[in-house]
């Protein structure tokens, strides 16, 4: 029975919103029993694999490719169990509409929280293995032998006893009619021949010849183009606009109210639409938020550093008492700014609405959340909606939101039958982001008479992403009644032992708490999310503590890492590779950092030299233990790429608030690292394997670059910087 038409729309909206919240949600993944006819005549072998008569293998991938290599990695995992010829592997995206119609046969589409591989490796491998068994069974049936007598290699099935062989393509049709086996045994990773190897990406060719179609490049017959302006002040309203003033501008077709705060111009070309929407006289009702500035936000957060009430994210012993009786106390206050994702491809979506159907073509990190937005904005049921995903020109968390999708549908609904491509200008993208949240931290450490660190209190004060985007997910993972309303994600990298972002030190008396203060600026998941600031706060302050008692920064850390062997292993790996303890080249200084996040253990060691206001990062070693390395070459690229993203933020990026609006509008005010500033990045992969939860790759390493560089900068200059970005201190990358 097809459940799609009967789907309770509201429950789907809630489920998909929860799934995109960056929190573990125990979704039952109903793959297996469902065995639908394939979409076309090409045989589908279970839900995950399609094999064409020419032996081409099409792997179904539902996680989104935004550069992080998840498509290639997931295909490797499926192909590994399938035992097919890697050279014949290609892939396709099922749509969320198909998924809903098939009882979510492919599980969660959400591509955030570094979960693409780590939360789906089990069932995609099972899908590959099930298909292999079905193909073997089909050959066995054809030859009237037992499947147990058959062997497979690179898509060829062999019956040695009778010297017969066939290929997957030849038996695919018959295999597609068989039941999907349920009892699947997966390979031991030590036997992998496709997974675990540094294979080339599957999506490169069209990225070097201009043929890759991003959302920006979608073309439909009769398509018109839309440009929007939303109220510069978040929460403000669109009061009125004077469309007569631009009616005669070239190409202009229509001016439409998109939602309470946004107006669009639809024109023949996007350039015409953009030109016209910028010329459109608009009156905004900016509201109370127009009084807010970066200074007022900072003052409010500062109050939280000493506020009585706070959510306790992690504690042991009695930190307050231990600090009160400490022989020596060290205290520091840090702060972290708002930042925009600034994906290279500005946000866009193309929508076609008719009263019978609404379809969207877009780059999204969460096709199910986008689908929910299409349902809501179109008013049509799930069976009449769908979302077609393109490759993403960067996501970094921003494309997990679907505001731009809802806008495209709203415009298209006002022009039924006409495909509408909505593109946000870079300026719209910069000023209507979902920003890396602001946070301040007061760090207090206490020592006994023997210079042992006996207590640490980290007080966070600032914004919760979950409170704004998924308030239904607050409290998850905590049963303490005093913590009602807590956002556990705020404590990424600082969480209790056993969680996926656990604190990386053992300290006798520990208190980590959060005074939640939510300004009007919309926060969002920004690559790495809260580990960015938490790693800077923790790892810079750990250096401050070590230096306050004259101890070596590596040895000081090691003493606090009892019972944390995986943290220690990555720290040791970078220390060894950078040459910690050995003399550095003249004028070169070193810094360290380590953290655990997204179930991966990461560390960095940087070497910098400083001249005037310029920091040259000579080299930076990054280590990760992500449990299993599905594609080492792509992981190395994620380490290096995450350092570029993290260091660009550290040096250059801040979104400031004036009169309730974001001030920075484009890259001239929001700089990003260039090739000349790129340090030599040396990635060290130390996957520890075993039965531990798999760790993520796209995000975790981002957080250790900044504190490693800051710690090295302190060694070079004696200057400890505690507010960011560094450009505010007249420091740039050399």
The residues binding another protein (CB under 8 A) are 66-69, 200-201, 203-205, 207-214, 216-217, 219, 225, 250, 269-271, 342-346, 391-396, 423, 425-426, 633, 637, 640-645, 648, 666-668, 672-676, 678, 680-681
CA dist list (Å): 557 to 294, 540, 554: 35, 12, 5
Q: How far is the CB of 360 from another protein (least distance, A)?
A: 18
Q: How far is the CB of 214 from another protein (least distance, A)?
A: 6
Q: How far is the CB of 413 from another protein (least distance, A)?
A: 24
Minimum CB distance to another protein smaller for 134 or for 430: 430
Interatomic CA distance for residues 726 and 654, integer angstroms: 10
Dihedrals phi, psi of 542, to nearest 5 degrees: -60, -40
Minimum CB distance to another protein smaller for 484 or for 680: 680
What ranges make up the beta strands (E) of 408-545? 420-423, 439-447, 453-462, 509-516
DSSP 210-256: S---BGGG---TT-EEEEEEE-SSTT-EEEEE-GGGGTTSTTEEEEE
Q: How far is the CB of 207 from another protein (least distance, A)?
A: 3
Q: How far is the CB of 233 from another protein (least distance, A)?
A: 23
Minimum CB distance to another protein smaller for 153 or for 269: 269
Q: How far is the CB of 678 from another protein (least distance, A)?
A: 4
CA dihedral 519, 524, 529, 530 (to 10 degrees): 20
Which residue, among 605, 728, 634, 616, has the nearest Cα to 678 in the 3D structure?
Answer: 616
Minimum CB distance to another protein smaller for 100 or for 629: 629
Which residue, among 106, 62, 54, 123, has the nearest Cα to 85 in the 3D structure?
Answer: 54
Minimum CB distance to another protein smaller for 431 or for 495: 431
Minimum CB distance to another protein smaller for 35 or for 616: 616
Minimum CB distance to another protein smaller for 135 or for 216: 216
Minimum CB distance to another protein smaller for 557 or for 637: 637
Minimum CB distance to another protein smaller for 658 or for 674: 674
Interatomic CA distance for residues 457 and 547, integer angstroms: 18
Q: Give the H or E element holding residue 372.
A: helix 367-378
Which residues, 6+ apart, have CB-to-CB distance to 90 below 8 Å?
A: 56, 57, 58, 59, 202
Minimum CB distance to another protein smaller for 504 or for 641: 641
Q: How far is the CB of 674 from another protein (least distance, A)?
A: 5
Minimum CB distance to another protein smaller for 207 or for 239: 207
CA dihedral 288, 290, 294, 297 (to 10 degrees): 0
The percent of the chain in helix, strand and coil, each rounded to the nearest 5, is 35, 25, 40
Q: How far is the CB of 285 from another protein (least distance, A)?
A: 28
Minimum CB distance to another protein smaller for 225 or for 454: 225
Three-state DSSP state, 456: strand
∠ CA 466-696-555, rounded to 5°: 100
Which residue, among 489, 490, 532, has the nearest Cα to 647 in the 3D structure?
Answer: 532
Phi-psi region of 157 (alpha: psi -120 to 50; beta: other; left: phi over 0): beta
Q: How far is the CB of 288 from another protein (least distance, A)?
A: 32
Minimum CB distance to another protein smaller for 195 or for 649: 649
Alpha helices (H) along 593-726: 632-652, 702-717
Q: How far is the CB of 350 from another protein (least distance, A)?
A: 13
For the purposes of burial, counting CB atoms within 10 Å of the CB of 186, is it exposed (0-12), middle (13-18) or buried (19 or more)? middle
- Whether residue 520 is preceded by a cis peptide bond, meaning omega within 30 degrees of 0, is no
Q: How far is the CB of 250 from another protein (least distance, A)?
A: 6
Q: How far is the CB of 49 from another protein (least distance, A)?
A: 25
Q: How far is the CB of 126 from another protein (least distance, A)?
A: 28
Question: Any idea what DSSP says for residue 88?
Answer: G
Interatomic CA distance for residues 572 and 580, integer angstroms: 9
Which residues, 6+ apart, have CB-to-CB distance to 309 below 8 Å?
A: 515
Minimum CB distance to another protein smaller for 466 or for 655: 655
Which residue, among 349, 360, 351, has the nearest Cα to 398 in the 3D structure?
Answer: 349
Q: How far is the CB of 87 from another protein (least distance, A)?
A: 15
Q: How far is the CB of 57 from another protein (least distance, A)?
A: 21
Q: Give the H or E element holding residue 99.
A: helix 96-101
User: In the chain, what is the straight-line distance between the N-terminal and C-terminal CA atoms, in Å?
Assistant: 63
Minimum CB distance to another protein smaller for 176 or for 653: 653
């Amino acid at each position: 029975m097809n459940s799609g038409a009967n789907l309770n729309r509201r429950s789907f909206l809630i489920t998909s919103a929860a799934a995109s919240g960056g929190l573990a949600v125990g979704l039952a993944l109903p793959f297996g029993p469902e065995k639908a006819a394939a979409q076309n005549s090409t045989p589908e072998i279970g839900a995950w694999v399609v094999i064409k008569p020419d032996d081409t293998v099409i792997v179904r991938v539902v996680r989104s490719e935004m550069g992080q290599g998840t498509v290639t990695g997931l295909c490797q995992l499926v192909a590994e169990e399938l035992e097919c010829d890697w050279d014949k592997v290609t892939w396709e995206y099922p749509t969320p509409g198909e998924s809903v119609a098939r009882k979510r046969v492919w599980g969660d589409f959400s591509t955030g929280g570094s979960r693409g591989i780590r939360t789906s490796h089990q069932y995609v491998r099972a899908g590959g293995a099930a298909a292999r068994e079905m193909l073997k069974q089909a050959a066995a049936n054809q030859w009237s032998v037992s499947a147990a007598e058959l062997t497979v290699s690179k898509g060829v099935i062999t019956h040695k006893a009778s010297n017969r062989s066939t290929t997957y393509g030849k038996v695919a049709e018959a295999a597609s009619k068989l039941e999907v086996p349920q009892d699947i045994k997966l390979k031991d990773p030590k036997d992998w021949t496709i997974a675990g190897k540094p294979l080339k990406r599957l999506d490169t060719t069209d990225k070097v010849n201009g043929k890759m179609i991003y959302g920006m490049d979608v073309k439909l017959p009769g398509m018109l183009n839309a440009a929007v302006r939303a109220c510069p002040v978040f929460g403000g309203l669109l009061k009125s606009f004077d469309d007569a003033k631009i009616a005669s501008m070239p190409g202009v077709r229509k001016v439409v109210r998109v939602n309470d705060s946004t107006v669009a111009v639809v024109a023949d070309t996007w350039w015409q639409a953009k030109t016209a929407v910028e010329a459109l006289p608009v009156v905004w009702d900016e509201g109370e938020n127009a009084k807010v500035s970066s200074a007022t936000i900072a003052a409010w957060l500062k109050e939280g550093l000493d506020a009585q009430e706070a959510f306790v994210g992690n504690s042991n012993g009695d930190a307050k008492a231990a600090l009160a009786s400490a022989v020596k106390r060290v205290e520091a206050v840090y702060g972290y700014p708002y930042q925009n994702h600034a994906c290279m491809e500005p946000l866009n979506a193309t929508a076609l609405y008719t009263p019978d159907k609404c379809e969207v073509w877009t780059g999204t990190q969460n096709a199910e959340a986008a689908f929910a937005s299409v349902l809501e904005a179109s008013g049509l049921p799930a069976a009449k909606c769908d979302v077609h995903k393109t490759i993403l020109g960067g996501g970094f968390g921003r494309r997990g939101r679907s505001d731009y999708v809802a806008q495209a549908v709203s415009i298209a609904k006002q022009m039924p039958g006409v495909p509408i491509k909505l593109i946000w200008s870079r300026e719209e993208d910069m000023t209507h982001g979902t920003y890396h949240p602001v946070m301040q931290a007061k760090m207090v450490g206490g020592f006994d008479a023997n210079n042992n660190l006996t207590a640490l209190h980290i007080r966070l004060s600032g914004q919760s992403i979950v409170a704004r985007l998924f308030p239904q997910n607050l409290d998850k993972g905590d049963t303490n009644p005093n913590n009602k309303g807590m956002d556990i994600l705020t404590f990424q990298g600082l969480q209790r032992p056993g969680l996926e972002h656990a604190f990386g030190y053992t300290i006798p008396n520990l208190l980590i708490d959060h005074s939640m203060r939510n300004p009007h600026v919309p926060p969002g998941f920004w690559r790495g999310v809260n580990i960015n600031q938490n790693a800077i706060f923790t790892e810079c302050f750990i250096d401050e503590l070590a230096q306050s008692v004259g101890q070596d920064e590596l040895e000081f850390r090691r003493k606090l890492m009892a019972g944390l062997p995986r943290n220690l292993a990555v720290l040791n790996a970078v220390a060894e590779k950078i040459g910690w303890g050995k003399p550095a080249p003249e004028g070169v200084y070193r810094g360290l950092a380590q953290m655990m996040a997204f179930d991966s253990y990461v560390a960095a060691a940087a070497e910098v030299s400083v001249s005037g206001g310029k920091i040259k990062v000579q080299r930076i070693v990054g280590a990760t233990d992500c449990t299993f390395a599905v594609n080492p070459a792509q992981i190395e690229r994620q380490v290096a790429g995450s350092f570029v993203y993290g260091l660009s933020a550290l040096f250059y990026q801040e979104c400031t608030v004036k009169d309730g609006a974001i001030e920075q509008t484009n890259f001239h005010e929001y700089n990003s690292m260039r090739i000349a500033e790129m340090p030599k990045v040396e990635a060290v992969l130390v996957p520890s394997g075993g039965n531990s939860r798999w760790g993520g790759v796209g995000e975790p390493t981002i957080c250790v670059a900044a504190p490693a560089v800051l710690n090295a900068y302190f060694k070079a200059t004696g200057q400890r910087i505690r507010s960011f970005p560094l450009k505010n201190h007249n420091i740039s990358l050399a």
